[in-house]
Chain A
Amino acid sequence: MDEAIKYLFSTRGALSHPVTQFTIAFTAAALVLAPATTLVLERMGRLTDVMRRDIMSRYYTWLLLIPLMIGPILWCPLAAMVMVCAASFLCYREYARATGLFRFHAMSGMVGLGIILVFLTSVDHWYRLFLALAPLMCTVFAAGGVIPDEPKGYIQRVALAAVGFLLLGSGLGHLGYMANDRNYRPIMCMLILCVHLSDLAGFIFGRAFGRRKLFPNTSPRKTLEGHIGALLVTAPVAAYLGHLVFPETRLDTPARLALLGLIIAVGSQVGDLVLGSIKRDIGIKDIGATFPGSGGFLDRFTSLMVVAPAAFHYINILDPFGADRAGRLFTLP
């Protein structure tokens, strides 16, 4: 027990890994250079006023979000888990309000309970229950949905709760569970960095070369060229960072690292398209308005909700998370 608590609050070696150092240096540089570049482009007359305002509103969002995301990861494993749990709640809130599920308080309460259980199993390092929560909670939603005795809309309520929990509770929760690994800081930094690199690369390539729409009904502004550019940039970077994060493990072969890079790169793109589909189906432009001009939390975490479970299970097969630590730290006598 003492050992477990000591681990959860451990701050040792926060900045010792080169990938963590690189992530901090890269994001700090991006935060410094973004307004300077915007200013230069504006002076050169290459930016319209609308574009400048759009870029700056996104910049302020990141100025707030980056310390809130990276800070807890650097601090200690428990803080990282709390950050992911809070992100799950905030994303679910936006999802529920956009889909109308928030009007069914009992369903939202059950999803909230599921998110808390994901957090607690992560803290406890209880891997089997962590995995079992996905089907168990779906059963709870199905059973709980019967209680109001309102068959009309039953499938919709239960399905919305299940999708919400699977993507935002269980899916995003995999990111929190990674904090059970002593190497969690560079792993989480790598995923967050790659996901946002994919966004950035997609935007730049789309602007520069974008001609053909890949999914015009789902995401009308995204182009095939943008998607390919994002894949070409993200996959090699993710593979190289993977080599630095998992040296001399079963994962550290060119083919396996390439597959890791591909999983992260494709997952990042898929996450965006999933959110696009949800928004188009509901018929709304933005799923949230927490950050005026640049959407809500879900817009920022949408790729991670797909990448986190995909990368987690791939890595876990070859180099299990937290294998050097005992499981069920608090629940076993």
Chain B
Amino acid sequence: MPETKPSPKPDRTWAFEPAADHDLPPIAAMRSVRREPGFFNFLSHAAAEVFFRVYFKVYHRLKVEGREHLPRGTPFVVISNHTSHLDALALKAALPIKTAVYTYPVAAGDVFFDNVASSVITAAFINALPLWRKKATTHALEELRERLSRGHSGYILFPEGARARDGVMKPFKAGLGMLVAGTNIPVVPCFIKGAFKAMPPDRTIPRPRRIRIRVGPAMSFEHATSDRDGWALVADEAQRAVRALWPSGGGGGG
């Protein structure tokens, strides 16, 4: 008699999961780390993504080396040196488009989210999440870490904490460690060259300079403890990995 296979038990759980920001008024939601993009935000973000891809390809002749190391699924953290406002946009343009729509650059709240208009533009078109630098405590980063651990997001993060105004890479801060220490979330090191010449901190209109991005293999910081020593270890290892991508480059100015 042939053996009959038991049919798999269907999963009948009705999972209602409200948006993490559903209790916030629209503008407050845009300025919150808990923001979850909806349909229109998805459309505006996707449209901006297409535009920036064409822009970087045509205007900055963007070249990406080591593309095979770029993440193809969430969660992840892409880190890089930081010399220009173009950096986050260039890194997003380098990512596979399916990954890019779930990627959130972590941007300075006091610069990009300080008024309603800039908050709307940054949230709707760049999909950035704010990090209020004066309040960037363990608690503030805990929300970012929690969101990352839920698995639906990837971050672009600049561990130097601010743009290097002379184009030379600065020591990494402990914030990255607070996000990934003790987890197996892949951290992808990148080095951006040319963005400083294209748009240094004192310029508002970018110059048509070539931008190159080198991508290194993903790192994991499962071995690091989530305390001050662990965060310092993460910062140190990540900094060395980024610097090693362009040993002669010094700062991103090139």
Whether chain B is bound by chain A comes out as yes
Residues of B within 8 A of A100 (CB): 15-19
Cα distance, A94 to B29, chains bound together (Å) = 13
B167-192 contacts to A (CB < 8 Å): none
Fill in one digit per residue for A143-164: 1 if any B CB lies within 8 Å of its CB, else 0.
0000000001100100000000
Q: A97-B22, A284-B23, A289-B24 are in contact. Are A102 and B16 (CB under 8 A)?
A: no
How distant is the Cα of A112 from the Cα of B39 in the complex, in angstroms? 9
Hey, which chain B residues are within 8 Å of A284, CB to CB?
18, 22-23
Partner of A102, one of B24, B25, B28, B38: B38
Most chain A CB within 10 A, of B11, B15, B22, B26, is at: B22
The complex places the Cα of A18 from the Cα of B39 at a distance, in Å, of 42
- Of the candidates A97, A152, A283, A290, the one whose C-beta lies within 8 Å of that of B38 is A97
**Nearest neighbor of A108 in chain B, beta-carbon distance:** B39
- Chain A residues contacting B36 (CB-CB under 8 Å) are 97, 102-103
Chain B count of residues within 8 A CB distance of the other chain: 17
Indicate if the CB atoms of A97 and B18 lie closer than 8 Å: yes
Contact B16 A282 (CB under 8 A): yes
Cα–Cα, bound, A281→B14 (Å) = 10
User: Separation in Å of the B138 CB from the closest CB of chain A?
Assistant: 27
Residues of chain B in range 8-47 having any CB-CB distance to chain A below 8 Å:
11, 14-19, 22-26, 28, 36, 38-39, 42
Please indicate the chain B residues that have their CB under 8 angstroms from the CB of A99 in the complex: 16, 18
B-contact 0/1 string along A9-42, CB 8 Å cutoff: 0000000000000000000000000000000000
- Chain A residue nearest to B21 (CB atoms) is A97
Chain A nearest Cβ from B116, distance in angstroms:
15
A214 at the interface (CB under 8 A from B): no
A182 CB–B CB distance under 8 Å: no
Q: How far is the CA of A6 from the CA of B168 in the complex (A)?
A: 66
- A98 interface hit (Cβ, 8 Å): yes
The reply to whether B39 and A282 contact each other, CB–CB distance below 8 Å, is: no
**In the complex, A111 Cα to B98 Cα: how many Å?**
23
Cα distance A284–B38 in the bound complex, in angstroms:
19
- Contact size class for A? 20 to 34
Q: Which residue of B23, B39, B42 is within 8 Å of A286 (Cβ)? A: B23
A282 touches B18 (CB 8 A): yes
Q: Which residue of B lies closest to A151 (CB)?
A: B10
A36-64 interface code vs B (CB 8 A; 1 in, 0 out): 00000000000000000000000000000
Q: Across the interface, which residues of A come within 8 angstroms of B42, CB to CB?
A: 105
Chain B residues with CB under 8 A of A292:
25
Contact B18 A290 (CB under 8 A): no
Q: Are B25 and A289 in contact (CB under 8 A)?
A: yes
- The residue of chain B having its C-beta at the shortest distance from the C-beta of A152 within the complex is B11
Q: Is the CB of A290 within 8 A of B26?
A: yes
Q: Which residues of A sit under 8 angstroms from B16, Cβ to Cβ?
A: 99-100, 281-283
- Which A152-182 residues have a C-beta within 8 angstroms of B? 152-153, 156
CB contacts (< 8 Å) of B17 on chain A: these are 100, 103
Instruction: Assess the A289–B15 pair: CB atoms within 8 A.
Output: no
Contact B38 A289 (CB under 8 A): no
Bound complex: CA of A96 vs CA of B19, how far in Å? 9
Flag whether A186 is at the interface (Cβ < 8 A): no
Q: Which residues of A contact B26 (CB under 8 A)?
A: 290
By a CB distance below 8 angstroms, the chain B residues around A102 are 19, 36, 38-39
Closest to B16 in A: A282
User: By the criterion CB–CB under 8 Å, are A93 and B38 in contact?
Assistant: yes
Nearest-neighbour CB distance to chain A for B7, whole angstroms, equals: 13
1/0 per residue, CB under 8 A from A, across B138-170: the answer is 000000000000000000000000000000000
Which residues on B sit within 8 Å (CB–CB) of A291? Answer: 25
A288 within 8 A of partner (CB): yes
Nearest first, the 3 A-B pairs at minimum CB distance are A97-B19, A108-B39, A100-B17
Known: A97-B22, A284-B22, A287-B22. 14 other contacts (CB 8 A): A93-B38, A97-B19, A97-B36, A98-B22, A100-B15, A102-B19, A102-B39, A105-B42, A112-B39, A282-B18, A283-B16, A285-B23, A289-B24, A292-B25
Residues of B within 8 A of A (CB): 11, 14-19, 22-26, 28, 36, 38-39, 42
Show 23 A/B contacts (Cβ-Cβ < 8 Å), sorted by A. Answer: A93-B38, A94-B22, A96-B38, A97-B22, A97-B38, A100-B18, A102-B19, A102-B36, A102-B38, A103-B36, A105-B42, A108-B39, A109-B39, A152-B11, A153-B15, A156-B15, A282-B18, A284-B18, A288-B22, A289-B22, A290-B25, A290-B26, A292-B25
